[in-house]
């Protein structure tokens, strides 16, 4: 009788990743369906990698935090069909709120690592104009009636205020300074053409102007100043510290990535932009959900046998400035450490919920190209209702001449 055995896991790589330009919720993409944003990202990704035989794609996982309407009907399958993938390519949907695309990647990567698949497409989309945050949700009344969570746990801005409460030395002034730096780094990256190279031009329809092509992100505010940030209202608490200026916005956009076994990628002549080391998800009190990246990163580092000192590049999702500061503070990393979000982050370019995990990965892959002296990088993000997710990557260019 034949027996099955596997001595080691298969090496999983990020082949490529792209995204649509991000829009302000209900603005740039007011006349565009969410699934069409996802399809455009997928098509753009495949156009960049024509050597990938479509019939060799084993699976597709697409995430959305609100899975109704134009984000429903199993996006993994429906977007695949709309994007022109063969009928033989299956697909499924993922929901881990903000970490949807990150979970699409880790779930598919796990299937490749164990040998069940060789090539897969991960993605995420959120049209917060069509699906405002919390729209259609029906939280179980026991959450509040039985004090399973506090009211603040259901409002992400309120959880950010609670982080300020927990860490009073992480002041509003520090959050504003971090937010300004994000805007400035994004503006510099745009000036140097570093962000545009991974944006897929996307059709956008305006009732006033008709059809156009989006080629850049809509949300960045390069004229931001500390003085201006200091005057903004604190909508989540009177005399609070969290504002629209030191938080990510409400946004529309999509991301997509190709994952493969390293052996298959090399055989097909596909690029290898990052090598997956390990990943981890962890839970925290829902009332301070922004602290989730800390235990998730501790867990991922332990899985990999690494320490925080081994990480030479960080992509931390900027849901709120205080959330990033809490992460940096725990690990003894300076607020302005140049290893962190060198192209800016979600405070500037936006955070279309379930899409953002792959944006972090494509940015990290670009850092790897620029910095062959960096061996390991981290992508991490907080997740609503008290979670965090972290993925550790290895630089395939490590040790090569720049």
Q: Which is catalytic among the residues 127, 131, 164, 351?
A: 351
Distance of CA 335 to the CA centre of its chain: 20
Assess contact for 94 and 106: CB atoms under 8 A: no
d(CA 314, CA 336): 12
Q: Enumerate residues 6+ apart whose C-beta is below 8 A from 150.
A: 144, 286, 287
Assess contact for 109 and 77: CB atoms under 8 A: no
CA distances from 310 to 268, 304, 340, 362, 398 (A): 31, 11, 14, 20, 13
Give me the count of residues in the chain: 402
Assess contact for 350 and 249: CB atoms under 8 A: yes
d(CA 284, CA 106): 20
Does residue 98 carry a catalytic annotation? Answer: yes
The torsion angle over the Cα atoms of residues 35, 80, 365 and 263, rounded to 10 degrees, is 170
SS3 content of the chain, % helix, strand, coil (to 5): 35, 20, 40
Q: Which is catalytic among the residues 98, 127, 164, 397?
A: 98
Q: What is the DSSP string of 187-246?
A: HHHHHTTTTGGGBPPEEEEETTTEEEEE-S-S---TT--HHHHHT---TTSTT-S--STT
The total of other beta-carbon atoms located within 10 Å of residue 144's CB is 14
Assess contact for 246 and 347: CB atoms under 8 A: yes
Per DSSP, 265 falls in state H
The torsion angle over the Cα atoms of residues 80, 85, 90 and 93, rounded to 10 degrees, is -10
Q: Which is catalytic among the residues 127, 131, 382, 397?
A: 382
Does residue 351 carry a catalytic annotation? Answer: yes
Strand 376-383 with 311-316, pairing: parallel
d(CA 394, CA 186): 24
d(CA 243, CA 23): 19
* Catalytic residue ranges: 98, 351, 382
């Amino acid at each position: 009788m034949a027996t099955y055995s596997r001595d080691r896991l298969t090496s999983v790589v990020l082949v490529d990743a792209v995204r649509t330009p991000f829009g302000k919720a209900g603005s740039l993409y007011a006349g565009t369906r969410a699934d069409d944003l996802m399809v455009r990202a997928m098509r753009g990704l495949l156009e960049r990698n024509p050597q990938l035989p479509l019939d060799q794609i084993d699976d597709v996982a697409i995430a959305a935090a609100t899975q109704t309407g134009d984000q429903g009907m199993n996006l993994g399958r429906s977007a695949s069909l709309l994007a022109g993938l063969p009928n033989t390519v299956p697909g499924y949907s993922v929901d881990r709120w903000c970490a949807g695309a990150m979970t699409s990647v880790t779930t598919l990567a796990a299937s490749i690592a164990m040998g069940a698949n060789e090539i897969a497409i991960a993605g995420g989309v959120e049209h917060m104009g069509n699906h405002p945050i919390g729209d259609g949700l029906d939280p179980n009344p026991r959450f509040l009636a039985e004090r399973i969570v506090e009211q603040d746990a259901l409002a992400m801005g309120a959880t950010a205020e609670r982080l300020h409460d927990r860490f009073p030395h992480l002041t509003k002034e520090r959050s504003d300074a971090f937010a300004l730096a994000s805007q400035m780094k994004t503006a510099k990256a745009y000036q140097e053409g570093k962000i545009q190279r991974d944006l897929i031009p996307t059709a956008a329809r305006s009732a006033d102007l008709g059809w156009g092509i989006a080629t850049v992100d809509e949300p960045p505010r390069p004229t931001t100043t500390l003085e201006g940030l200091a005057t903004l209202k604190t909508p989540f608490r009177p005399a609070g510290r969290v504002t629209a200026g030191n938080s990510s916005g409400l946004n529309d956009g999509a991301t997509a990535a190709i994952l493969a076994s390293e052996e298959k990628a090399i055989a097909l002549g596909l690029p290898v932009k990052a090598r997956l080391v390990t990943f981890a998800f962890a839970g925290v009190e829902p009332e301070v959900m922004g602290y989730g990246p800390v235990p998730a990163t501790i867990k991922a580092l332990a899985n990999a046998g690494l320490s925080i000192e081994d990480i030479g590049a960080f992509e931390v999702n900027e849901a709120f400035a205080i959330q990033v500061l809490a992460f940096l503070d725990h690990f003894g990393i300076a607020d302005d450490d140049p290893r962190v979000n060198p192209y800016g982050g979600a405070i500037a370019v936006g955070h279309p919920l379930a899409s953002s995990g792959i944006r972090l990965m494509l940015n990290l892959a670009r850092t790897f190209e620029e910095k062959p002296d960096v061996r390991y990088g981290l992508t991490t993000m907080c997740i609503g209702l008290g979670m965090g997710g972290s993925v550790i990557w290895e630089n395939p260019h490590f040790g090569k001449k720049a």
